């Protein structure tokens, strides 16, 4: 049989707050229990925006923990752990212990203790939730009107904060979408610029084709000229051999002048042939650049030619 003992009052100072606790039944303890400290309860009340509710009843002390008799050993253990944690200022952990004790004993007063702990932990939504559960489970409270007024004020504050969070989240999403839109527009602008450059390069390359054909044609002309001068040089040397067999020239034949003329023709032939080859290759490169490829890729075909005292040299490079 459960026998309730009249509440025994005891008080002490923790963080400047005087607290009281209604004692449990004889099954809870054999001697009066030490009241739990509440720590900064007044400050937590201000955070909840419910000062008006507290002032509704001059005899109502919103900082006082409360409980009825606990006849469940596990629930008593949870309550004592929560009480100790609360006195240490570990309010959130204390609130969890009070809720665990409530789940074991179904004593509604433990929900009020959980509300106090959540409140002092600054966890407004959990404090509002546990106070609402306490009021639902205890419809005949003497201070129910004050507590309900306080609960309504807390609900309004929770709703206001939720609306502020939703507004901030909507603004954050709007800014993210705006940044994404700006990034897409910048990417599209870069793509348009790249396409314009590509088309301009294609147009420039297209204009190179006739230039390449002209240059290549000039090179071919030089090659033909080189062939002609080469034939003339060979004819000159043949004439020199006929008039100067075994190194002895016919009387009246100007061997030195004819030999000099043959050398000039031979040199001209080398210049025309190698120069014509170089010019022809240059025309080919220009034509290929005009037909396709990018200026960044480099010329697919390149050639070079040079002449010196000892002769001429030509180089051809093909990239593939």
Q: What is the model's pLDDT at position 42? A: 33
pLDDT (tens digit, 9 = 90+) per residue, 253-280? 666 777 777 788 788 888 888 887 888 8
**So what's the pLDDT on residue 134?**
95
pTM: 0.42
pLDDT of residue 275: 84
Kindly state the tokens that stand for 217.
């044609």
Which residues of the chain have a pLDDT value below 50? 1-63, 295, 320
pLDDT at residue number 300: 53
Six-digit token pair at 193? 């610029």
160-180 confidence digits (pLDDT tens)? 999 999 999 999 999 999 999
- CA end-to-end span of the chain: 102
So what's the pLDDT on residue 19?
32
């Amino acid at each position: 049989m459960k026998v309730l003992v009249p509440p025994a009052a005891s008080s002490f100072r923790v963080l400047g707050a005087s607290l009281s606790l209604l004692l449990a039944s004889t099954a809870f303890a054999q001697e009066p229990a030490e009241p739990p400290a509440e720590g900064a309860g007044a400050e937590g009340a201000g955070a909840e925006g419910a000062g008006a509710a507290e002032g509704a009843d001059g005899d109502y002390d919103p900082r006082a923990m409360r409980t009825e008799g606990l006849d469940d050993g596990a629930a008593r253990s949870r309550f004592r752990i929560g009480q100790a944690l609360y006195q240490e200022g570990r309010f959130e952990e204390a609130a969890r212990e009070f809720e665990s004790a409530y789940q074991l004993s179904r004593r509604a007063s433990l929900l009020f203790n959980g509300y106090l702990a959540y409140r002092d932990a600054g966890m407004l939504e959990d404090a509002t939730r546990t106070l609402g559960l306490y009021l639902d489970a205890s419809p005949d409270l003497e201070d129910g009107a004050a507590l309900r007024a306080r609960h309504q004020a807390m609900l309004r504050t929770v709703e206001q904060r939720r609306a502020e969070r939703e507004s901030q989240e909507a603004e954050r999403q709007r800014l993210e979408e705006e940044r994404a839109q700006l990034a897409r527009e910048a990417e599209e602008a870069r793509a348009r610029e790249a396409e314009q450059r590509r088309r301009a390069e294609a147009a420039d390359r297209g204009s190179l084709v006739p230039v390449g054909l002209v240059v290549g044609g000039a090179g071919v002309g030089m090659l033909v000229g080189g062939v002609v001068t080469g034939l003339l040089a060979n004819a000159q040397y043949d004439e020199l051999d006929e008039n100067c067999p075994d190194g002895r020239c016919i009387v009246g034949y100007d061997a030195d002048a004819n030999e000099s003329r043959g050398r000039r023709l031979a040199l001209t032939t080398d210049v025309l042939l190698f120069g014509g080859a170089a010019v022809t290759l240059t025309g080919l490169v220009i034509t290929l650049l005009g037909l396709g490829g990018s200026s960044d890729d480099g010329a697919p075909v390149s050639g070079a030619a040079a002449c010196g005292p000892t002769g001429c040299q030509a180089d051809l490079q093909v990239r593939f």
